[in-house]
Amino acid sequence: ALNFNAGPAALPESALAKAEKEMMNYQGSGMAVMELSHRSKEFEEINERTKNLLRNLLTIPDEYEILFLQGGASLQFSMVPMNLLEEGSIASYVLTGTWSEKALKEAQKVGNAVIAASSKNANYRFIPSSSEIDIPAESSYLHITTNNTIYGTQWHSIPENLPVSLVADMSSDILSRPLNLSAYGLIYAGAQKNLGPSGVTVVIIHKDLLNRSRPGLPSMLDYRVHADSQSLYNTPPTLSIYFLMLVLQWAEELGGVKQLEQLNKQKAALLYDAVDSSGGFYTGHAEEKSRSLMNVTFTLNNEDLTSAFLHEAEESGFIGLAGHRSVGGCRASIYNAVPLENVEKLSDFMNVFRSKN
Ligand code: PLP
């Protein structure tokens, strides 16, 4: 399949092939991966290896804890304020799309959360610049969404030297490019785009922030509890973590995040070129400076043409190209595991469809 789904999304073929070979009888144990006890030597090894791979790939310093949690990125919308928003202070959010709106809404249920900047009036076509971000003095943290899966925008420079901790939802662009982790207090990502299958959420948190949690938090919602038990406080999503390990091994073998970034730039350029050279046949949703390397969003001139495009694309084997229901149009999600040749095929298809119509 030429899979352009937004998530769950394409996984590396070689990781799938490896799973097919070893998953049903893990290392000769006579047990499938999903039959292993989470307290077994085998699973503890998987857990540790996965963390180490992530630490190496993203150059995560020792002062940061890596947690594997459940509940998706959506639960982080609540856990972040529950753990980081101190009594009497404010949580500040930059609104760049539906997911940041949701994150803000959940924070407002926990405490005082405000909008520090927003591009909503422009239908989220761009990422606000650092100078447009207004952080109230009493803020505990600033929350951003580094890649906006639905609108197809991405932060290309991160606000630096902030007076508060920076918290980022990186669900749809983690591992797609090198990361200067020291700019962040906490990052989180649901796995089902760049990291693996759904079911596991990665949280990377500076150890200093582990002491801020509100007293009396339910244990499962307390970062400290998960950190103190190496993410084995309760039964973790063992199969998802195993797959995460395979995806990280693939990324390492490929040459790491620098190599992935280069490939991602090459893939995105193919599609944006097809849009830009179409003489207005295709229109990109995002402003050029804010374009995402992960989700390429574009529209055609009218509904009929859009339907014809999506229909013909499906007939030709392209999957998942309809835009999110809240935006419409088309979206091609080209995460790490989407092969360059599939993107070349899509760009060719776009050019041929344009000349025919
Ligand atoms: N944040 C972003 C940027 C997303 O793209 C998504 C899902 O697509 C979410 C959060 C929600 O993730 P989950 O379904 O894991 O809760």
Phi, psi of 99 (to 5 degrees): -70, -35
Ligand 1 and 72: CB distance under 6 A: yes
Give the torsion through C-alpha atoms of 159, 164, 169, 172, to 10 deg.
Answer: 20
Q: Which CATH number fits domain 256-356: 3.40.50.300, 3.40.50.2300, 3.40.50.720, 3.90.1150.10?
A: 3.90.1150.10
Does residue 109 have an active-site annotation? no
Rounded to whole angstroms, the Cα distance separating 232 from 313 reads 44
pTM comes to: 0.98
Q: How far is C-alpha 53 from the geometric centre of its chain's CA atoms?
A: 18
Q: What is the DSSP string of 265-329?
A: HHHHHHHHHHHHTTTTSEEESS-GGGB-SSEEEEEESSHHHHHHHHHHHHHTTEES-BPPTTT-S
Has residue 190 got a pLDDT over 90? yes
**Mean of pLDDT values over 290-315:** 96
pLDDT of residue 215: 83
Query: For 131-186, how does the pLDDT look when each residue is reduced to its tens digit (9 = 90+)?
Result: 999 999 999 999 999 999 999 999 999 998 899 999 999 999 999 999 999 999 99
**How far, in Å, are 1, 6, 196, 232 from residue 11 at the CA level?**
11, 12, 7, 26
Ligand 1 atom having least distance to the Cα of 72: 15
Ligand 1 and 145: CB distance under 6 A: yes
**How far, in Å, are 38, 212, 220, 222, 236 from residue 229 at the CA level?**
12, 18, 11, 11, 11
pLDDT of residue 326: 78
Rounded to whole angstroms, the Cα distance separating 282 from 309 reads 11
**How far, in Å, are 96, 132, 165 from residue 162 at the CA level?**
19, 13, 7
- Choosing from 51, 173, 193, 267, the catalytic residue is 193
**Mean of pLDDT values over 177-203:** 97
**Mean of pLDDT values over 83-112:** 97
pLDDT of residue 217: 94
pLDDT of residue 327: 83
Ligand 1 and 237: CB distance under 6 A: no
Phi-psi region of 198 (alpha: psi -120 to 50; beta: other; left: phi over 0): beta
**Level-2 CATH architecture, domain 13-254:** 3-Layer(aba) Sandwich (3.40)
Omega before 159 within 30 of 0, i.e. cis: no
Would you call 47 exposed, middle or buried from its count of C-beta atoms within 10 A (0-12, 13-18, 19+)?
A: buried
Ligand 1 and 73: CB distance under 6 A: yes
The pair of three-digit structure tokens given for residue 272, joined into one six-digit string: 């944006």
**Angle subtended at Cα 123 by Cα 121 and Cα 125, rounded to the nearest 5 degrees:** 110
- Choosing from 99, 155, 173, 267, the catalytic residue is 99
Ligand 1 and 176: CB distance under 6 A: no
Rounded to whole angstroms, the Cα distance separating 5 from 10 reads 7
**How far, in Å, are 57, 159, 245 from residue 181 at the CA level?**
12, 13, 21
- Choosing from 51, 155, 169, 267, the catalytic residue is 169
Ligand 1 atom having least distance to the Cα of 149: 5
Ligand 1 atom having least distance to the Cα of 201: 15
Ligand 1 atom having least distance to the Cα of 76: 16
Percent of the chain with pLDDT over 70: 100
Expressed in angstroms, the distance from the first to the final Cα of the chain is 25
Q: Which of 80-89, 208-217, 223-232, 316-325 has the lowest mean pLDDT?
A: 208-217
Does residue 265 have an active-site annotation? no
pLDDT of residue 161: 85
- C-alpha of residue 109 to centroid of ligand 1, in Å: 19
Q: Are 247 and 337 in contact (CB under 8 A)?
A: yes
- C-alpha of residue 279 to centroid of ligand 1, in Å: 34
Q: Are 232 and 238 in contact (CB under 8 A)?
A: no
The pair of three-digit structure tokens given for residue 315, joined into one six-digit string: 């007939």
- A 10 A CB-CB count for 300 gives 21
The pair of three-digit structure tokens given for residue 183, joined into one six-digit string: 């700019």
Q: Are 336 and 176 in contact (CB under 8 A)?
A: yes
Percent of the chain with pLDDT over 90: 95
- For 55-92, b where at least 16 C-beta lie within 10 A, e where not — what string? bebbebeeebbbbbbeebbbbbbbbbbbbbbbeebbbb
Does residue 155 have an active-site annotation? no
Provide the residue ranges of all domains of the chain, joining segments of one domain with +.
Answer: 13-254, 256-356
Pocket test for ligand 1, best of 74, 75, 203 (most atoms within 8 A of CB): 74
Rounded to whole angstroms, the Cα distance separating 275 from 293 reads 14
**Mean of pLDDT values over 85-95:** 95
Ligand 1 and 119: CB distance under 6 A: no
